[in-house]
Amino acid sequence: MHWKNDLSRLLNIEYPIIQAPMLGTATPQMVAAAAKANCLGALPLGDLPADKCVEIIRATKQLTNAVFAVNIFVNDIPEITDELRAQYKTVKNFITQLANQHHIEVQLPEIEEIKVNSYHERIDAMIAEDCKIVSFTFGNLDEQSIHRLKSSGIKLIGTCTSVNEAVILEKSGIDLICVQGIEAGGHRGTFVNADIPEIGGMSLLSKVYDSVSVPLIYAGGIYNGRTLKAAQALGAQGFQIGSLLLGSAESALMEFEKQRLRNLNEKDIVLTKSFSGRYARGIKNTFVNAVEANQQILPYPYQNKLTAELRRIARINHNADFVNIWTGQSINAYSGKSTTEILENLIKEAEK
């Protein structure tokens, strides 16, 4: 298999394989381990405050001299209205009662206690920390932010889940596009929060390849050499790997979460807004079933902030029924080996 292409040259990596920026799972150690395999590590910053972003970026630089990507969320933040306050109270009461029914004591925040911040402060932090590659999801950067980042010599990677989103990203001057198929684990990278495009990855990749001219990264369902080569045949120059690394030594998932993954059935994996208010693919459990049946879900990021403390306590108690475990449709062995070894084995498989 021939690895060198426009994307590998643009990102200055030997293998155009990108470790997925999985917030809550990918760690500075995972980023460094991906770099050790001569791939691109990606550090998830999500919607973290700027000072926390700086802390994590610096911690990663202590572990590797290699260039790595940083990933942020660029979603719109809904205004807090009287209607949203009333909905928040209803959902908060429902989740509190659900937790009590399952003997979980939790103090959920009031809506006024929730802190949300614009992605612009994270851009300031990334420029100040001399980041070289920035990827983003949940929408597109505004024109001024694109100009600031590119003027600083930063390469930009946008996420699309439809041809229309890909075209918007290209017209905005984004350098690379990550094409996310519906089978991918974790949050959908859609520009909208409802009526999301539900397009199979290989079909989407082929159509995007015909519609834009920038190099493409494919994300969704890659778990061995065959699936990687299939994505390459349809136009991908880069390959984003997420679910394959969930059980790795560097993953932030706890052992009970990794064991839950290793006992998966294909019927266990669903697309749900229950934990965060945005569609994400992961494991169905008691919380998902109850919230989906109730159909009282706040818009992102308020649902995400509301459920954060419940998820934290559930993790402490090793309670898999009240934590979000994101994974894609391609069930695998969820190896406990290092990220470096997992990626090196994937490269060897693809070269056969």
Reported as a single tens digit per residue, the pLDDT across 294-317 is 988 999 999 999 999 999 999 999
Give the ranges where 188-285 is alpha helix by DSSP (H): 201-211, 225-233, 255-262
| DSSP conformational letter for 110 | P
**286 assigned to some structural domain:** yes
Q: How many CB atoms lie within 10 A of CB 81?
A: 9
Axis crossing angle, helix 28-36 with helix 339-350, rounded to the nearest 10: 40
CA atoms within 13 A on the CB side of 104: 27
Place of tokens 């049946």: 293
| DSSP conformational letter for 109 | P
**255 assigned to some structural domain:** no
Q: Which domain holds residue 99?
A: 78-115+265-326
282 and 313 share a domain? yes
| Token output for 312 | 């934290």
108 and 123 share a domain? no
144 and 189 share a domain? yes
280 and 337 share a domain? no
| Token output for 195 | 């009526």
157 and 292 share a domain? no
158-212, pLDDT tens digit by residue?
999 999 999 999 999 999 999 999 999 999 999 998 889 999 999 999 999 999 9
341 and 314 share a domain? no
314 and 212 share a domain? no
**123 assigned to some structural domain:** yes
List, in sequence order, every residue forming a beta bridge with 281; answer none if it has no partner. 186, 271
| Token output for 77 | 């933040």
302's CB contacts (< 8 A; 6+ apart) are 78, 84, 88, 111, 114, 277
pLDDT over 90 at 68, yes or no: yes
pTM to 2 decimals?
Answer: 0.96
Task: For residue 213, give the CATH number of its domain.
Answer: 3.20.20.70
211 and 341 share a domain? yes
**304 assigned to some structural domain:** yes
Cβ atoms 134, 72 nearer than 8 A: yes
90 and 140 share a domain? no
Number of separate domains in the chain? 2
For the chain, the average pLDDT equals 97
217 and 82 share a domain? no
| φ and ψ at residue 289, rounded to 5 degrees | -60, -45
**297 assigned to some structural domain:** yes
278 SS3 class: coil
**260 assigned to some structural domain:** no
**259 assigned to some structural domain:** no
99-140, pLDDT tens digit by residue?
999 999 999 999 999 999 899 999 999 999 999 999 999 999
223 SS3 class: coil
Question: What pLDDT, on a 0 to 100 scale, did the predictor assign at position 210?
Answer: 98
200's CB contacts (< 8 A; 6+ apart) are 181, 182, 183
28 and 125 share a domain? yes
Q: How many CB atoms lie within 10 A of CB 213?
A: 7
95 and 152 share a domain? no
**258 assigned to some structural domain:** no
